[in-house]
Structure 1
Amino acid sequence: MTGFPRYAIYFAAGADNALSRFGAELLGYDAYSGDEISFPQDALRIASDWRDITADPRKYGYHGTLKAPMALAPGKTEAELVAACATFAGKPRPVPVIRPVVDSISGFIAVIPAEPVDALQQLAADCVRDFDSFRSPLTAEDRARRKPERLSEPQREYLDRWGYPYVMEEFRFHMTLTGRLDANRRGPILEMLRERFATLKLDALAVDRIALFKQDDAKARFRIIGEWTLGR
């Protein structure tokens, strides 16, 4: 069984950022404060089962994955991981800027880049590599849970090498808003989410920070325990 606690390196836009509030309201959970939040009425009108629709992403908090959840490798400590996050963020690098849109990806709905951004792909690849020494080795159970028989050959290789299949050129940045939806339900929900997102008037989003998320046990939600602005 996967060890706990688990940690992940994610992008989160900032506790007071309008995008963070947008995501937290829709998921019903704020990963900064750990508080539950009432769902917006327009979401409940479009889907009375909104709590169920958002159950999976709620567990993780509103984020964009850079380094997938991991238990710490033997001998590694949380304090060392926190220090590594600060060191990583302090290295000068181009700060990715995306044009965010709401769209469907693999059956769920998320905020994604309208077009690929090389600096974002590089940031994610750097996170995968630089924090991998903190990752506990993949167990047979964890590997089976990823259903490797359904993955492409490169994805299986990445799963075995990095503990997660969607890295490097397989990486697609996304900030998830729903679980997977049947095609007949997706349209009205996508339209509602696009209308809500349009009110933010967010034409550009700088992926300018990393956040350390922690999950204490299998029943717990991920919570932000540290955040660092990227060096420019």
Structure 2
Amino acid sequence: MKDFKRYAVYYAPRRGDFAEAAADWLGWDVATGKPRLQPDLPGLPRALADLTVAPRKYGFHGTIKAPFRLAEGASESDLQTATAGLARRLAPARMPGLRLAWLGGFLALIPDGDEAGLTALGAEVVRGLDGLRAPLTPEERARRKPDRLTVRQRELLDQWGYPHVMELFRFHLTLSDDLPEDEILPVAEVAQDWFAPVLPQPFVVEDLCLFGEDMLGRFNLIGRHALTG
């Protein structure tokens, strides 16, 4: 059994073609906690492993509650129980599908359609689990570069430990590192071809997935709780 230094609540697809394609693309299987052999895809400017260094350790995921340390006196069991309780109360978030997008530096899949239900879900999870989150240390806060944040983002960072929550929540599934401009189009074209056959329609966030960050800095799926509210 692994020890974890931080926890997070993510979306991760259930087993199937979409999950398999995503694990192969990033080279890390969150369900097994093992590396995957990344495909040699024609058209890429560099090896896929060189284009996906940053997102690989997190695995394929969409953040719902960003990584945090447990509060003093709280246990992983407490977190599992609280996450399961939220999942029994909250309903799935449904959107027509996913599309490829360029998010100012990296490629990602983002939802198509109205995200109001997903934003509300994210807010409930952030609020519902915050009592189990340890306060940010000065070093953790500094890593978020508060001087580059807006006033509202700094307020959210100080209240919830992360600046991109509540009305500023923007769900995405990261597919690459930050890329130079000349690599954006070729990587996007290859990614579109790779994921198009397996993209879910509709796209449904149907679970709260509890992840743990192991001592090597890699994130592992440790609990999947179906949204049944």
TM-score range normalised by the length of the shorter chain: over 0.9
Q: Which residue of 2 aligns with 1:222?
A: 219
Q: Which residue of 1 aligns with 2:133?
A: 135
Q: Which residue of 1 aligns with 2:94?
A: 96
Distance in 2, Cα, partners of 1:74 & 1:202: 40
Q: Which residue of 2 aligns with 1:33?
A: 32
Q: Which residue of 1 aligns with 2:20?
A: 21
Q: If each structure's strand is expressed as a fraction of its own residues, which one has the higher value?
A: 2
AA matched with 2:35: E
Q: Which residue of 1 aligns with 2:211?
A: 213
Identity percentage of aligned residues: 40
CA contact under 8 A between 2:39 and 2:48: conserved in structure 1? Answer: no
How many Å apart are 1:216 and its aligned residue? Answer: 2.4
The alignment's TM-score, normalised by the length of structure 2, stands at 0.94
How many Å apart are 1:116 and its aligned residue? Answer: 3.5
Distance in 2, Cα, partners of 1:170 & 1:136: 22
Distance in 2, Cα, partners of 1:92 & 1:156: 28
1:181-220 maps to which residues of 2 (within 5 A)?
A: 181-200=179-198, 202-217=200-215, 219-220=216-217
Q: Which residue of 2 aligns with 1:5?
A: 5
Distance in 2, Cα, partners of 1:172 & 1:21: 24
Distance in 2, Cα, partners of 1:203 & 1:49: 30
Matched pairs, number: 226
Distance in 1, Cα, partners of 2:72 & 2:199: 45
- Name stretches of at least 5 consecutive residues in structure 1 with no aligned partner: none
Distance in 2, Cα, partners of 1:82 & 1:150: 34
CA contact under 8 A between 1:98 and 1:117: conserved in structure 2? Answer: no
CA contact under 8 A between 2:65 and 2:126: conserved in structure 1? Answer: yes
Q: Which residue of 1 aligns with 2:53?
A: 55
CA contact under 8 A between 2:89 and 2:227: conserved in structure 1? Answer: yes
Spell out, residue by residue over 1:141-193, the C-alpha distance to the aligned partner (whole angstroms, 9 max, x if none).
Answer: 11111111111111111111111011111111101111111222111101111
Distance in 1, Cα, partners of 2:210 & 2:174: 17
The alignment's TM-score, normalised by the length of structure 1, stands at 0.92
Spell out, residue by residue over 1:78-103, the C-alpha distance to the aligned partner (whole angstroms, 9 max, x if none).
Answer: 00001111111111435333420111
CA contact under 8 A between 2:28 and 2:56: conserved in structure 1? Answer: yes
How many Å apart are 1:201 and its aligned residue? Answer: 5.2
Out of 149-158 and 194-203, give the one that drifted further.
Answer: 194-203
How many Å apart are 1:49 and its aligned residue? Answer: 3.6
Tell me the C-alpha RMSD between the 2 structures.
Answer: 1.5
AA matched with 1:196: W
Distance in 1, Cα, partners of 2:217 & 2:157: 25
AA matched with 2:148: R
Distance in 1, Cα, partners of 2:164 & 2:199: 30
**Structure 2 residue corresponding to 1:118, chosen from 116, 119, 139:** 116
Distance in 1, Cα, partners of 2:161 & 2:111: 25
Distance in 2, Cα, partners of 1:223 & 1:52: 21
AA matched with 2:99: V
- Superposition misfits of 4+ residues, deviation over 6 angstroms: none
Spell out, residue by residue over 1:36-83, the C-alpha distance to the aligned partner (whole angstroms, 9 max, x if none).
Answer: 11111216x513342232111111111100000000000101000011
Spell out, residue by residue over 1:115-144, the C-alpha distance to the aligned partner (whole angstroms, 9 max, x if none).
Answer: 341110101111111111111101111111
CA contact under 8 A between 2:9 and 2:208: conserved in structure 1? Answer: yes
